[in-house]
Amino acid sequence: MEIKVEGQQEKQKITLIAVLLAGSCFLTYYFHQFLQTGTVFTHLFYIPIILASLWWKRKGVAVALFLALFLLFSDTILREYVLTANDYLRACMFVTIGVAVALLSERIAKTQEKTAHLNKVLYAIRNVNQLITKEKDRDRLLKGACDNLTQTRGYYSAWIALLDENRDVVTTAESGLGKDFLPMANLLKGGTLTDCGKKALGQTEVVVTKDPLSTCIDCPLLDQYRGRGAMTIRLEHEGKIYGIASASTLIDFLSDEEEQSLFQEVAIDIAFALHNIELEEKHKHAEEALQKSEEKYRSLTDDVLDSSSVGIFILDSDFGVVWVNRALEDYFDVKRDDIIGKDKRQLIRERIKDIFENPDSFAHTVFTTYDDNTYIERFECHVLPYGTRKERWLEHQSQPIQSGLYAGGRIEHYYDITTRKQAQDKLTASLKEKEVLLKEVHHRVKNNMQVISSMLSLQSQHITDKASLEMFQESQNRIRSMALIHEKLYTSEDLAHIDIASYIHSLTHQLITTYHTLASRVNMDIAITDIFLTITTAIPCGLIINELVTNALKHAFPHQQKGTITISMTPSNKDSLILTVSDTGVGFPEGIDFRNTTTLGMQLVTSLVEQLDGTITLDRSEGTTFTITFRGGVEYKRKNIEHGKSTDTDR
């Protein structure tokens, strides 16, 4: 369309010039032929001359030449009388004016062209700048920049090569060259820089190649540069060189400083954009690396938590559930996703009823620690089976989180102690079984002794001799005193120790029933508390008391005499016991050595005291007092405190 308009205008111009020329020719002819006198009116001639020179510049000068020659020709042919110097002068004038106008017009046109070109370049720069602010992808930025530089026809072609730290080409972009750039791209990627590129890397200013055809014979783009030159510049920001950019434009524009500085500006802008992209990439990489390491750490923590056989709750400072591990999901048959983020108190209120055997006690214990800001230590809870949930015994503990993201929160552990608990139960059961067995043995022993006692009793029913009968009775009593030890053992809580006070009460009751005639006049005073003896000590000890009390009952209170028998047992030192059996009776006969009597009772006492590593003394000053001291030979216990040597107990 524009071309058509231009064509039409061109025709009109030619027509107009032709008409004006025709007019000028006629005017010359008219003056020279008809008037013959005077000077040709040539002022009109300047119109076609100026117009032609304006429109067609140097070519337009032809019109001036034509008119000059025509005037001189006409002068020579048609005016025979006069040859005035005027016409020569005028012809010269025509040519001078024509040339002057043509030169002037040419100059104006060039300035206009240059301004238009610079405008295009500016427009391109604007577009590049706009692109820079938007584009975050390096390759698209480079391609877009090249496109912008050529699209506005500011430059014929443009290409950019990016370099790494080693000055090796990383990537290239171009516009306006297309396939023709391939050899250049290959050359660059192959590690060879163009001469202009090498030069550009070494300087901040634009490298101008005005005549590539003769200076850049090796350049693969040579064919593309016919009639054009190139500007090449490094892309540099804050000392870092990102690459080189090159653009081709008319050779005429190349030397223009404005042109160069605009191109430099583009290069600075692109370098800045590359710098920003690089920063962003670095930032992104750092962020990615951080995220990756965080993920790694997180997954590691999760793996560790999940592989643990301890059920774990992690709570934040508001008792919100932050995390639960797999073991916990398994123990309570809950799903992590249903629990994380929920309030732990509410979970306890809503869920535990069907989980624990004693939900109220559990809730109370846990809530108390929440309210008081304390922590749970070894709280055992019994998880009941339901669906896929197994029955378990768990030991619950909690501890504070001191630092980090959840500081102020707490970690709650649930240790599976089911196996331990079962083993414990088994052990308890087994112990119970053994206890029952031991009780049965003691019961059996007691029964057997009763049978022996009954046998002696049956045997003695045929005896009429009083002394013999008494001997049988005493034997029976001795057996019973031993049987009583076994009875005390199997009826007490502690199967290893005998409460000696209770034993002596029963023993003396038995004896006084045997000697029932004395029951009303002899008082029994037993002053023993808190002494527990083992069976090995208790049996000889019981026999000693049996003999001494029997002795007192038989001999101390003749002739209806009243009195008291006192038995006491007191610990004296750390590991010794003092047993006294005294009576307020007639007193042990003078002149009789109790260690050397013929009576079986006193012989037994002496032997048993020796067996227990003790000493026995007799005090006859007031009634009869036997004092027996067991030194270290007796193991005894007072209110759960062990005394004495255990080494001597097996004797």
Partner 1 sequence: MAKARILIVEDEAIVAVDIQKTLQKLGYDVPAIAFSGEEALKKAEELHPDVVLMDIVLRGQMDGIGAAQKIYERFGIPSIFMTGYSEELLERLNILQPLLYVIKPVEINELTTAIDTALKEA
Query: Please, which residues bridge with residue 167 across strands?
Result: none
- The correct pick among 82, 83, 407, 455 for binding partner 1 (CB under 8 A) is 455
Q: Give min distance, CB of 445 to partner 1, in A.
A: 13
240 CB-near residues (< 8 Å, 6+ apart): 275
Stretch that binds partner 1, among 38-46, 289-297, 348-356, 453-461 (CB under 8 A): 453-461
Q: Give min distance, CB of 528 to partner 1, in A.
A: 16
User: Three-state SS for 408?
Assistant: coil
Of 285 and 509, the one with the shorter C-beta distance to partner 1 is 509
Amino acid at 482: M
Per the CB < 8 A criterion, the answer to whether 609 and 537 are in contact is: no
State which of positions 516-555 bind partner 1 (CB under 8 A): 516
User: Three-state SS for 235?
Assistant: strand
**E strand residue ranges, 198-297:** 207-209, 228-237, 240-250
- The correct pick among 119, 428, 457, 647 for binding partner 1 (CB under 8 A) is 457
Q: Give min distance, CB of 389 to partner 1, in A.
A: 41
Q: Give min distance, CB of 510 to partner 1, in A.
A: 7
Residue 204 has phi, psi (to 5 degrees) of -85, -30
Per-residue binding letters, 433-452, with partner 1 (x by CB under 8 A): ----------x--xx--xx-
State which of positions 463-522 bind partner 1 (CB under 8 A): 480, 483-484, 487-488, 491-492, 502, 506, 509-510, 513-514, 516
User: Three-state SS for 120?
Assistant: helix
Of 91 and 489, the one with the shorter C-beta distance to partner 1 is 489
288 CB-near residues (< 8 Å, 6+ apart): none
Of 373 and 461, the one with the shorter C-beta distance to partner 1 is 461
Bridging pattern class, strands 563-571 and 522-527: parallel
- The correct pick among 403, 461, 598, 640 for binding partner 1 (CB under 8 A) is 461
**Strand arrangement of the beta sheet that strand 532-534 belongs to:** 497-499, 532-534, 636-638, 641-643
Closest to 228 (Cα-Cα) out of 245, 253, 205: 253
418 binds partner 1 (CB under 8 A): no
Of 318 and 440, the one with the shorter C-beta distance to partner 1 is 440
Of 248 and 477, the one with the shorter C-beta distance to partner 1 is 477
CB count, 10 Å around CB of 273? 25
- The correct pick among 453, 508, 546, 580 for binding partner 1 (CB under 8 A) is 453
Q: Whole-angstrom Cα distance, residue 338 to residue 347?
A: 10
Q: Whole-angstrom Cα distance, residue 9 to residue 28?
A: 28
CB count, 10 Å around CB of 292? 10
Q: Give min distance, CB of 511 to partner 1, in A.
A: 10
Q: Give min distance, CB of 388 to partner 1, in A.
A: 45
Q: Whole-angstrom Cα distance, residue 367 to residue 345?
A: 8
Of 461 and 560, the one with the shorter C-beta distance to partner 1 is 461
CB count, 10 Å around CB of 331? 22
Distances (CA, A) of 482 to 448, 476, 478, 538, 582: 11, 10, 7, 9, 22
State which of positions 556-595 bind partner 1 (CB under 8 A): none
Q: Give min distance, CB of 531 to partner 1, in A.
A: 17
Q: Give min distance, CB of 499 to partner 1, in A.
A: 10
645 CB-near residues (< 8 Å, 6+ apart): 575, 632, 633, 635
The residue count for binding partner 1 (CB under 8 A) is 25
Of 510 and 570, the one with the shorter C-beta distance to partner 1 is 510
Q: Give min distance, CB of 639 to partner 1, in A.
A: 20
Q: Give min distance, CB of 568 to partner 1, in A.
A: 21
Question: Rule CB under 8 A: which residues touch partner 1?
Answer: 443, 446-447, 450-451, 453-455, 457-458, 461, 480, 483-484, 487-488, 491-492, 502, 506, 509-510, 513-514, 516
